[in-house]
Structure 1
């Protein structure tokens, strides 16, 4: 029985350069197919980011020559009282909006996860504010919370209570902006939580019902621990969004930020410096300071929320096993 002679590679296949050219011909159409995304990202994403770093080290009004000033913009930023006032306003509005917003979203998602009628209708209704025009919503809130003809103050007057200067007092401005954020993003986060709830095994809820657990116990001892990754995601995204507030105070109060600049957020202040005062160097420095603040807060939230906790074994089930 004769052995089959092995096939010897051709000279072209033995040549490394020929193999590289062949491989390039195979993958080139794939790179060409995805190249539009990377070209657009390089022009409208990567280049502005890198150029903003350069601008933060210069003094430029957008028309004349660019003057290199080194770290002078950042030194001025550290001593700028208006910037730190904007930082304080942003953090207060973030706290007033994010904490109740995520808690309400969790409760709404938990209720929607139950066997209730018209579930699809409620899901659409809660998500609708997120797709509503932000400008239109700010105008509506400005009418509802107006100091003179607002619906809220009219209701307070009808009840014999004192009116509240919602748009002319520091805390009234912050509360109004916070309520706008809560109204817009509660349903959005509730839908995310609902998707996480649907991935939790129903056996845990059945075991809790057998043990006689109340709905409150089920919520805090099963739902919340099992949703820790989802909670981490919503906390980080809500933090980044809360620190980047712009449309709400800008449309509601204008570029001034309201009385005493109580609604002046970091992004609104950065917008004023860059596109009203035409100080693009200082505006870029504020933008990178905001990036640093958001990154630090995201890391802190990551460490707090993703800490070690109940490892998907609810206490109710552990008590049941102990009784056995």
Structure 2
């Protein structure tokens, strides 16, 4: 082996070692706060209160609870609305911002989109509690025009999926607009120029070139948004407390798991519900990955 080859080998080894050092903190945190809790949840879900093997009894007991199917339905309706809003509005707003000519205007709009996402989840919900109260809301005329004169009128069960989807969109859409904006910037300029020379307008360019070329980024957005949406907890929990019981404290599946664990002292049932959510998320994610061809090479 020549000296040059030996130097290259040592340089490559140093790069690999540096990469491992950068990844190590994440791997440690993932193991402590991801893998270990999941393994412990699996243990709890298949055992009884005394630690004996319980089979699937915890799963059947929680699935037949009168609160489980309604909570699952609430989350499902919310997810449909939330993902539809992401798919249509986020993609549309990203394309509009990307078409703007002025760089300063683009920067201002991107910052305005991102600011709501800087608020923590609980803080944003507390802010929305004022927005949704017609007696103090800055959009009170709009709420009253829709027939809502009191806070309880706004948060009736039929309105909640839309309310939660709007809150989620307000807090999370800005970050995804930035992600998709970055994906649009990776499209080669000569491709867009060639489309214009062929007579394609902005709408045709967006539908035939830009959207297909950022398909994987859109799929990635939907996967993470779906995973976060199944964990719906903070919004209904705070609204439940603010409404003094008008909204039940077991509205979402996560809230129901919380009730099992900390109200009924049934951690085994709570773990079973958590694993139900995990299975639903994994199956749905696999569908997104296959349909969106996330790992296909172009």
TM-score bucket (shorter structure): 0.7 to 0.9
User: Matched residue of 2:259: which SS?
Assistant: helix
* 1:209 to 2:196 alignment: yes
Which of 269, 274, 296 does residue 256 from structure 2 map onto? 269
Residues 249 and 255 of structure 2 are in contact (CA less than 8 Å); yes or no, is this contact kept in structure 1?
Answer: no
Give the equivalent residue in structure 2 for 1:125: 112
Q: Report the Cα distance in structure 1 between the residues aligned to 2:33 and 2:136, rounded to whole angstroms.
A: 44
Q: Report the Cα distance in structure 1 between the residues aligned to 2:91 and 2:142, rounded to whole angstroms.
A: 30
Give the equivalent residue in structure 1 for 2:209: 222
TM-score (norm 1): 0.75
Is the alpha carbon distance of 1:181 and 1:166 closer, same or farther for their aligned partners in structure 2, counting shifts above 3 Å? farther
Is the alpha carbon distance of 1:284 and 1:124 closer, same or farther for their aligned partners in structure 2, counting shifts above 3 Å? same
Give the equivalent residue in structure 2 for 1:200: 187
Is the alpha carbon distance of 1:31 and 1:155 closer, same or farther for their aligned partners in structure 2, counting shifts above 3 Å? closer
Residues 255 and 268 of structure 1 are in contact (CA less than 8 Å); yes or no, is this contact kept in structure 2?
Answer: no
Which of 65, 79, 82 does residue 67 from structure 2 map onto? 82
- Structure label with greater radius of gyration: 1
Which of 165, 168, 175 does residue 178 from structure 1 map onto? 165
Q: Report the Cα distance in structure 2 between the residues aligned to 1:32 and 1:233, rounded to whole angstroms.
A: 26
How far 1:188 sits from its partner (Å)?
Answer: 1.0
What's the CA shift string for 1:235-266, capped at 9, x where partnerless? 11111111112222222224999646498122
How far 1:96 sits from its partner (Å)?
Answer: 0.9
Which of 18, 41, 56 does residue 52 from structure 1 map onto? 41
How far 1:97 sits from its partner (Å)?
Answer: 1.2
Residues 147 and 168 of structure 1 are in contact (CA less than 8 Å); yes or no, is this contact kept in structure 2?
Answer: no
- Aligned counterparts, 1:92-241, within 5 A: 92-114=77-99, 115-116=101-102, 117-146=104-133, 148-157=135-144, 162-163=147-148, 167-241=154-228
Residues 146 and 153 of structure 1 are in contact (CA less than 8 Å); yes or no, is this contact kept in structure 2?
Answer: yes
Superposition RMSD in Å? 3.2
Q: Which runs of 5+ in 1 are unaligned?
A: 1-27, 313-324
Give the equivalent residue in structure 1 for 2:289: 302
Which of 73, 92, 115 does residue 58 from structure 2 map onto? 73
Residues 102 and 186 of structure 1 are in contact (CA less than 8 Å); yes or no, is this contact kept in structure 2?
Answer: no
Residues 258 and 264 of structure 1 are in contact (CA less than 8 Å); yes or no, is this contact kept in structure 2?
Answer: no
Is the alpha carbon distance of 1:136 and 1:99 closer, same or farther for their aligned partners in structure 2, counting shifts above 3 Å? same
Residues 59 and 279 of structure 1 are in contact (CA less than 8 Å); yes or no, is this contact kept in structure 2?
Answer: no
Q: Report the Cα distance in structure 1 between the residues aligned to 2:285 and 2:21, rounded to whole angstroms.
A: 36
Give the equivalent residue in structure 2 for 1:249: 236
User: Matched residue of 1:213: which SS?
Assistant: coil
User: Matched residue of 1:171: which SS?
Assistant: coil
Q: Report the Cα distance in structure 1 between the residues aligned to 2:243 and 2:274, rounded to whole angstroms.
A: 19
Give the equivalent residue in structure 2 for 1:11: none
Q: Which runs of 5+ in 2 are unaligned?
A: 1-16
Q: Report the Cα distance in structure 2 between the residues aligned to 1:213 and 1:35, rounded to whole angstroms.
A: 48
Q: Report the Cα distance in structure 2 between the residues aligned to 1:306 and 1:166, rounded to whole angstroms.
A: 43
Paired residue total? 276
Is the alpha carbon distance of 1:102 and 1:170 closer, same or farther for their aligned partners in structure 2, counting shifts above 3 Å? same
Q: Report the Cα distance in structure 1 between the residues aligned to 2:66 and 2:197, rounded to whole angstroms.
A: 59
How far 1:226 sits from its partner (Å)?
Answer: 0.8
Is the alpha carbon distance of 1:297 and 1:244 closer, same or farther for their aligned partners in structure 2, counting shifts above 3 Å? same
Give the equivalent residue in structure 1 for 2:4: none
Q: Report the Cα distance in structure 2 between the residues aligned to 1:106 and 1:47, rounded to whole angstroms.
A: 37
